[in-house]
Amino acid sequence: MMNRIRTLHILNGQAMYNFFKRTNFLEHELMIPFNEAMCYGKTCNDLFSNEFTEIRAKVHQVTLVQYSEHILKPLEPLFSKKFTHIALWFDADMFCQINILTLLAWLDQAEHTDTIDLNIVGDQFEPLSHFTFKAKGYSAIYKQVLIDKKMPEHIYPDPLKKGVELYLNYLNKDSDLMMYIHKNKDVPEEELMLALLEKFKHYGLGDTQYFEIIKSLRQEHQ
C-alpha cells in the first residue's frame, strides 16, 4: 500500500488563514498561519530555538509566552514533521518573501527532502504564480541574507530574489522608503503611516513596523 501524501499548507499570517477558512478554500486540508515579520529586527541561525524565540520576542516587544502562543503554537504541525508535502501560500511582497525564506531555511535544517509547492497570491488572495522546488541550500541563503546581510549569487524563484533585494536595501538611508519618510518629516506619524501602507505595497510592511521606522528615523534627525 502506498503511503498517503499528507499536505500541510502554510499561509502568510492570520488574515489569509481567516479568509481561506471563511471562503472554504482548501476545505478539509490542514492549514496553519505563519505570523512572523522576519524582514524586521534581529534574528539568529538556529531557527525556532530558545535563542531565536528570545530575540524575536524582544523585536516584537512581547513576552516569551505571548510569542510562543502567537507564532510557535500554530506551527506545531510543521515541527511534528509528519507531513510528506508542504505547500506555501504567500504574497509577492518583501515581507512575505523573507518569511518564505525563513520557512525554507528551517525545512532545509530539518532535512525535509520532498518537493515544496510555493503559491504566490495577489491582493485578493487569488493565485498568481506557482513554483515547485526543494528546500536544499536555503539555510545557507537565509544566513547570508538575514545574518550577514549579503546578496547571494543565485536565488530561486524570482519573487524571492526580488524580496531579498528589497530587504537588503529598504532600511538604507537612500532607499525610496527612507527618502519618502525623510521628505515628509512634518507629516503626523499616523497620517504618514497610512500613506506608507498605500504607497509602498511592494514592501508589505504593517503599521507597527512603519511606526517603528518613522520613530527611529525622526529620533536620529532630532
pLDDT tens digits, 123-137: 888 889 999 999 999
In a domain, 162, yes or no: no
- Mean pLDDT within 62-82: 96
Structural domain for 115, as ranges? 7-151
Q: Can you give the pTM of this predicted structure? A: 0.93
Q: State which amino acid sits at residue 154.
A: H
Q: Is residue 58 part of a domain?
A: yes
The SS3 call for residue 90 is: strand
Number of domains in the chain: 2
* Overall average pLDDT of the 38-56 stretch: 97
* Domain presence at residue 130: yes
What pLDDT score was predicted for residue 169? 96
Rounded CA-CA distance 140/144 in Å is 6
My answer on whether 134 and 31 are in the same domain is: yes
Domain identity same for 134 and 204: no
Q: Which three cell numbers stand for residue 182?
A: 525623510
Q: pLDDT value at position 126?
A: 87
Q: Is 200 helix (H, G, I), strand (E, B) or coil?
A: coil
Looking at the fold, whether 146 and 65 belong to one and the same domain comes out as yes
Secondary structure (3-state) at 207:
helix
Confidence label for 4 from pLDDT (cuts 50, 70 and 90): low
Whether residues 137 and 71 fall in one domain = yes
Q: Is residue 160 part of a domain?
A: no
Per-chain mean pLDDT for the chain: 94
- How far apart (Å, rounded) are the C-alpha atoms in residues 129 and 91? 10
